[in-house]
Homo-oligomer: A and B are copies of this chain.
Amino acid sequence: MSSYGDQIRFTIFGESHGSAIGVVIDGLPAGEAIDLEKLQSFLDRRAPGKSALATKRKESDTVKILSGLYEGKTCGAPLCAAIANSDMHSTDYSSLRVTPRPGHADYPAYVRYGGANDIRGGGHFSGRLTAPLCIAGGIAQQILQRKGITVGAHISSMAGICDRPFPFELTADLLESLKTKPLAVLDEEAGQRMDKAVRDAAADRDSVGGCIECALIGIDPGIGDTMFESWESRMASMLFGIPAVKGVEFGDGFAMAHKRGSECNDPYRLRDGRITCESNHNGGILGGISNGMPIVVRAAIKPTPSIAREQKSVDLETGEEKNLEIKGRHDPCIVPRAVPVIEAAVALTALDILLITEGRKWN
């Protein structure tokens, strides 16, 4: 199911080679001006066909608003936005119907939907469906920004090469500056090595994965709920809904498993009369609720499963083993294009949580 949220709720629709992809968002606060050019720029950050690292499929990905905006502002009714598909080469996929690609959803989807799922370009399982997520997330970001909340992300690692971590003193300026870079890294030299490593993998007819670190600043303390409605629970269930995400951690995350308590507890101090922490090992969340520090989350993205090498598979109809070679156009690494997608997911979770705590009439 492609729906998420409580106080806002959105559903992502479309298949990679269907007539359109899009999203419906219910529960957006009314009266919020949405800058459609800015939204388009946000989407352009994930659009394909722009870089040597990405698939050659070209999609202009122009957003069309079908409902929910009136005189440029949200009007309280569900907002539907769609992107028409174009430049589809569906013939490339015909042979995959009965020969599932390793690492892809093909086989479980075949069983789950009794073979009725749209296999062309991965259908609804395609990474292309992250475009509507970015529409929803781009809108959420504009609303959050008006409340002084900023979300931003960088590639913390790609192909095994690590970027610098976020500094302790995180500013909106730093987060915004990352959005204008061709590769969202803090350490340009690491970025160049990442770029080379992706090209090497592509030359090897292989692919690479990476990790994206995202921060959310401007969240007051005392926002959110406990246990299964914690910031971590809500954000993780959104992030794991993004194809290829296989790990999610908050603050120091898995590294905390190897540390001692004295290294993980964030001491409280006063700063300009406000309670703050001297460190942020817990990523801004304690007991599921915000503590006023930046919320920091990291998502692991597996290497694109579509690789040009011959792979072992089976024929679902004849029930025989069979090798397959994937044709078509594929990203050797989707991590750079996933940066705005992670931002979108984080922004949407934040907006939902804020509306839960503050109410739907929040303003």
Contact = CB atoms under 8 A, between A and B. Distances in A.
A247 to B, nearest CB: 3
Given A1-B225, A259-B303, A70 B116 contact: yes
Interface in A209-231: 209-211, 220-230
A82 B358 CA distance: 31
B249 A248 contact: yes
The winner among A207, A210, A224, A246 for most chain B CB atoms within 10 A is A246
A148 interface: no
Interface string A228-261: 1110111011101111011111111110111111
Interface residues of A, number: 157
The winner among A73, A206, A226 for most chain B CB atoms within 10 A is A226
Given A262-B206, A269-B312, A233 B226 contact: no
A313 to B, nearest CB: 5
A318 to B, nearest CB: 11
Interface string A258-296: 111111111111100101011000110111111110000
Contacts of A31: 113-116
Given A227-B2, A361-B357, A76 B124 contact: yes
B247 A237 contact: no
